Every structure is written in structure tokens, then in C-alpha cells.
Structure 1
Amino acid sequence: MKKLLFFTVVMFLMGVNYIPVSAEKQHKHDSKGMEQAIDHFILDQFSDELKQAVNDFYKKDSIRIQYNWWDKNYDVVELEQWEKGRELSHPYIIKFTVQTYDGNKKGQLGTDTITFGVSPLQFNKELDEKNLTASKVELLNYSHGDPSKGKN
């Protein structure tokens, strides 16, 4: 739940256009560097949900997850936002493409795509209103892809 709290804070901050800040030393990130940082942050926030989805799919606890950041055929993390004209089932849809391995055997099991629907607190009146960063996460789809064929 803590991870979802941080994720919601990041999503909120992404909506803020300008916040004046002063720092000892400015760090400059290009858009690609910023996207990578956000992707890593989101992966950290969803690590438990990803592990659970993979274990449920393969019916094993020994499955390892890896990410192929260099494959040009897909993005490891894809984020979509609901907007007028592009209505989604949830305010945010997050799709992860992961490579799965059995920790007890050699060889890749698959390149799998796991999709979650995320609804921050403002869309979930049933969650504790004192918790400003709570989100509800729902597994929408688990798609297994053959490891030799890349993305499913």
C-alpha cells in the first residue's frame, strides 16, 4: 500500500507545471533521462503487484522478473491517462513488459505483458480520505508471450 501512496504522489506532481525550487546545485535531465527515472520509480512502486501477478500466472514462487530496457519493440513501462475522447476503464492504465525466468532452471519462460488499472483516491471515495495518496490497483490483463518471439 505504501508503494501505491508514493505512486499517486508522483502522478499528482506530474500534473504540476511549475514549482520554483532553489538548490545548491541544479541537476539537468533531458526528457529521456526523466522518463527513465519515472519508469524506475513506477517499477519500484509496483514490484509487489508484478511479483504477485507473475507468481499467480506461473503458479510458482521461484519466478524471477527482469526488464529489457534496450529492446526497441516495446517499452518496459507504458502509462496511459483517461481523458475526454480517450476514455479508459480506469483513470490510469499502466502496462509492464517483463521477461520471466524460473529461478530453478535456465532459460527464459516468456516476455509477458501485465496491465493494471489504477484509480487514485479522488476517484475512490471508499478509501480513507485522510490518506491523500492512496490508490486502488486492479490487475486487468496478463498476456504471456513466447520468449523467442519478443513482445506478445
Structure 2
Amino acid sequence: MKKLLIFALFLLSLCVYYIPANAEKQHKHDAKGMEQTIDHLILDQFTDELNQAVANYYKKDTIRIQYNWRNKNYDVVELDQSEKRDQLGHPYVIKFTVQTYDGNKKEQLGTDTVTFGVSPVQFNKEFVQKDLAAVKVALLDYTHVEPSK
């Protein structure tokens, strides 16, 4: 009996020793989940530029932006490699399609597509230090569509 108890304690100690400890559970995404994750990352990085472009278009500070991730007619975030890099001056083009609302009246103003040209650090000689988030961004186009009633 004593040998069985010692053996059981030995096995228990091995189990406890080999249990991996993680501070946070990692997510395992499929291709669609990975695309959504990248879309959210890009959206987080461009929030200030997007808000500024919308405020400049409407000439108001009370404009709210919402994202309709379920609309099958468009993607909230589209990232393309520019075929017209020499004409646009940017190797990447990012389009954001957002629904805009007047914050005071809470009515939808429309669906807007904001297009930015993006040049990563390797294409920008003005960035002296290596900064992974350093990009040159330029507003290329702003398209407004009235809401359907």
C-alpha cells in the first residue's frame, strides 16, 4: 500500500510539473478569422486618420462612425497592393467603408468610403529610425453615398 501511495504521488508530481501555464489563452483562427483580426488591427491603426477625414468632409466634430461588418455589399476594410504605385506614390491602398451619423441628431448621414495610400517605412527615406508602425499615409479619395430611405 505504501508503494502504491508513493507511486501515485510520483505520478501526480509529474502531471503537475508538465502542466503548461499561460497567462492568456491563444486564439486559433481559420482564414476568415485571421482576415477579421487583420482588419481590426488595420482599423485600430488608422482610427485617427479615418476620424479626421470624416470630420473634414462633414465640417463637424459631432460625427460618429459605425462599422457594419455584416453588410455583404462591401468590406469594412479592404487592403490592396497598388498597381498604380508610380501614379499614386503609394504601394498599398486601404479602403474603409463606414456608416456616418450625426451625433447630435442620431440620424444616418450616409455610407462613406475613405481611401488612403500607404507607404511602409522601407519606402520612406524620411524615417531615420526603424519603427515598425511608421507609414506615410495620404488621403486619396472620399466617396459619400446618401442613406436609402
SS where residue 145 of structure 2 aligns? coil
Residue 91 of structure 1: how far off its partner (Å): 1.1
Aligned equivalents of 2:95, 2:26: Cα separation in 1 = 32
Cα-to-partner distance string for 1:44-65 (whole Å, 9 max, x where unaligned): 1111001000000000000000
Residue 107 of structure 1: how far off its partner (Å): 1.5
CA, structure 1 residues 123+73, in 2 after alignment: closer, same or farther (shift >3 Å)? same
Matched-pair contact (CA < 8 Å) for 1:121–1:129: no
Equivalent residue for 1:78? 78
Residue 147 of structure 1: how far off its partner (Å): 1.4
Query: Gaps spanning 5+ residues in structure 2: where?
Result: 1-20
Query: Gaps spanning 5+ residues in structure 1: where?
Result: 1-22
Q: Which structure is larger by alpha-carbon Rg, 1 or 2? A: 2
Aligned equivalents of 1:101, 1:133: Cα separation in 2 = 30
Identity of aligned residues (%): 73
CA, structure 1 residues 98+26, in 2 after alignment: closer, same or farther (shift >3 Å)? closer
Aligned equivalents of 2:79, 2:49: Cα separation in 1 = 16
CA, structure 1 residues 132+47, in 2 after alignment: closer, same or farther (shift >3 Å)? closer
Equivalent residue for 1:102? 102
What's the C-alpha RMSD, in Å, of the aligned pairs? 1.8
Residue 148 of structure 1: how far off its partner (Å): 1.1
Larger relative helix fraction: 2
Matched-pair contact (CA < 8 Å) for 1:74–1:97: yes
Q: TM-score, normalised by structure 1?
A: 0.75
Greater displacement, 116-125 / 128-137: 128-137
Equivalent residue for 1:5? none
SS where residue 144 of structure 1 aligns? strand
Residue 132 of structure 1: how far off its partner (Å): 4.5
CA, structure 1 residues 26+68, in 2 after alignment: closer, same or farther (shift >3 Å)? closer
SS where residue 104 of structure 1 aligns? coil
Residue 27 of structure 1: how far off its partner (Å): 3.5
Q: How does 1:100-139 map to 2 (within 5 A)?
A: 100-139=100-139
Equivalent residue for 1:58? 58
Equivalent residue for 2:148? 148
Matched-pair contact (CA < 8 Å) for 1:118–1:138: yes
